[in-house]
Structure 1
Amino acid sequence: MSGTGSESNENIPDPQPSMPDDRSSPMSILVEPRMWNEEDRQKTFQEWPRDAPVTGVSLAKAGFYYVGPGDKVQCFCCGGILRDWVHGDCPSNEHRRHFPTCGFVRGTSVGNVPRPLTPKATDSVDGQLLSQLQRAAVDDEALAGQAVYPEMEREETRLSSFYNWPTDAAVRPEVLAQAGFCYTGQGDNVKCFYCDGGLRNWEPGDDPWLEHAKWFPRCEFLLKTKGYEYVARVQESQRSAGEKASGGQSAQEQLMQLQQERTCKVCMDKPVSLVFIPCGHLVVCADCAPSLSHCPICRAAIRGSVRAFMS
């Protein structure tokens, strides 16, 4: 593929290639502020060549909008132009390689508005929410053979969503994308393109495939890729680990711990029955939940709740 430098607003929407005067300092002035919204950038790809080796979705996420002709695109921030895309190109990587001083590429605040991955509230899991409490609607859709985010089906497209992945994150984007995850743009939160399962708070040594199987064992993408036996082994390992964890406690201690875990943390009387979205904590009863705007455990803003039934 080939790229050209930045240019002035006067040449938009049919810019003429020109090299930037100075590549030594970051560019902070938006070339096309009308395109700082990823959804608006994505709309410009309606005439994008169908046989192009990269998708308009991945290009828009990487900061580009379509200017044409052919497969010519331009960055809304630095004005850099790229064209002649070939199979194997990753838009975010090519953006960084050709225009390393671009403020968008460098992760500075340039006003970019990412396209939300969810049609409603962001739903993340931090290890507190058990796999059996996944949203029924998501399960039904995943089991019906339909991806929640079909535009993220290609691994290359998922990888391009990690363009601003934290540099100090414990897990590499390539490994997460391979396991079906794409970046939400917040912290180290990721979501599976197929089942919508969310994970965060990654630690060194975490295996994305294993975590996928641990928390979202019904994901059809996971089952097709890793196999039913792999998922069954992970689930069995989790059950065995849970038995060992409680092995050192007496029956009375285990009962007291269970009662505490199932008691509302606000009124300290009624049993817990609601799971908060997006944090996933199960800590209050149905009567106390309406009076709360933030989770009493992690202080995350409450955007919704799911009823949990204890067996």
Structure 2
Amino acid sequence: MAEVSKREATFSKIIWPENSPSIENLVRAGFYCTGVSGEVTCFYCNGSLHKWGPNDNPMVEHARWFPHCDYAKHLCGNNLYGKIQSSKKNLLAENKIDPNELRSLVVARLDLPVVERLRSQYSLPLIKRCIEDQFKIKNDDFESDSDLSMACLVLQKQIDILQNSKHNFIIPSKDQQLNNSSQPAKKSLGECFICLTEEKKLACMPCGHLCACVPCGYALKSCPICRQHLKGFISVSA
């Protein structure tokens, strides 16, 4: 589908909605028709978009929803691409992401080639959680495919540590079990290094240090343990 003529040919199989962007602009933006009315997919990054508005610019929407697509980035040019990403980040920061929008953002990224590659190493729910946490905490995409890969690695390590720690629990006597039956045990991850009050919930990326609660995490620019610049967080639960 790298050839323009082949992408154009895919639109001849259906009636393209009148209130959507022109086929010419969609093809130029790297899209081909999937066979479903209103849905297109990028030949380069495999990202799919639908629910178009009459004033939507395919090139801009391509770069907005799939910032790691080199084809879209090259098409926009560095100046426009930078403005698109800044605008998206500011919008997400000003408006809390509602569940439906978050779901759309995550689903749009699950078809990306990097996710397909990561599925050979990690479960899809784990990859999905990393993407969700990035939007919830940082209000933005991962800066690169390697950052998403690192997030998956950090989260998997945290999960492995928590699962392995179960074998280190001391089993109480029967009397102790009866006395504590109404008080379910909860494993703590320790106090936040910043406020020393709330429980640690966030692991820094890319270093992987578990160090902060969610409220304090918003203010961090570097890891409080190793001082490495932060690229994101992974939410960890006991």
Bucket of the pairwise TM-score, normalised by the shorter protein: 0.3 to 0.5
Structure with greater proportional helix content: 2
What's the TM-score, normalizing by structure 2? Answer: 0.42
What's the TM-score, normalizing by structure 1? Answer: 0.33
